[in-house]
Structures are given as structure tokens and as C-alpha cells.
Structure 1
Amino acid sequence: MISELGYIGHNVAAAAHLLSNVDDAVLAETFRLLDERKDSYWRDIAGVEMLRRGMEPGGRLPRDGGDPR
């Protein structure tokens, strides 16, 4: 997923479309793997998609014992 975002570049619509078509686990993992400083552009887009789905960006994942909502 990270390499696909790199290929897309700074095209907001394409990145948002890509991230809107993955399941919650992949989206959360992608958000976790993106560097806060270097990848802030894509991290912001992923965070917005997570909020749209009712997920909390940066929150605990279900496998960590956290509430996925």
C-alpha cells in the first residue's frame, strides 16, 4: 500500500480513492506504517478516511485490545 501511495504521488483524489477501497485493517495498518513527518500528506488523507468510517486515527487496534470504534 505504501508503494502504491508513492506511485500515485500528491494526487489527493487518487490517494483518497485508493484508501477508500481497502478494508479497515489495511487502512489502520497503512496509517500506522506512515511516518508522521515524512509521510504526513498521505497520513492526513488516511486519517480522514478513518474518521469517515468512524475509526480513530492513531487509536488502538482491536488486536491490541483497544476498542475499534
Structure 2
Amino acid sequence: MPDLWTIAEVAAHLGVKPGSARGTLSRWGVRAVDHRIDDHGRAHSLYDPDEVRAAHADRPGRGTRTDLRK
């Protein structure tokens, strides 16, 4: 199984806080591919790094008029 990213690793890649990263991934349609339970019984979502990188690269640039798309 390839290495998967936690939300903290995704946030570091995107340059935002973990809470912002969760919302961003949701808007981009990136879903967790697996979940891990830690020693304290908390579930952690794991994301495919390639999918995160692709979604990050495909986002519109600054000043893009997305309302004009057909």
C-alpha cells in the first residue's frame, strides 16, 4: 500500500491549517481512502498524496473568472 497522508501532512503541503485543509479537500471532491484508529481510539482520515497534489495543481489561479465557465 502506498504512503497515505494524514490531514496534518495535507495541510502542510497546502500551507494551511488542518481545519482549512478538511474544507478545501471537501470542496475539491477529494475523499479519504482509508482511516486509522490511534492509541486513544480516535479515527484519522488518510488521503492519497497523488490525488491531493492533482487537485491542488488543477485549482483555478488567482483572479480567474470561474463564473464565466460554460
Superposition TM-score, scaled by structure 2 size: 0.27
Which one has more relative contact order, counting CA pairs under 8 Å at least 6 apart? Answer: 2
**Which has more radius of gyration?**
2
TM norm structure 1? 0.27
Instruction: Please state which structure has a larger fraction of its residues in helix.
Output: 1
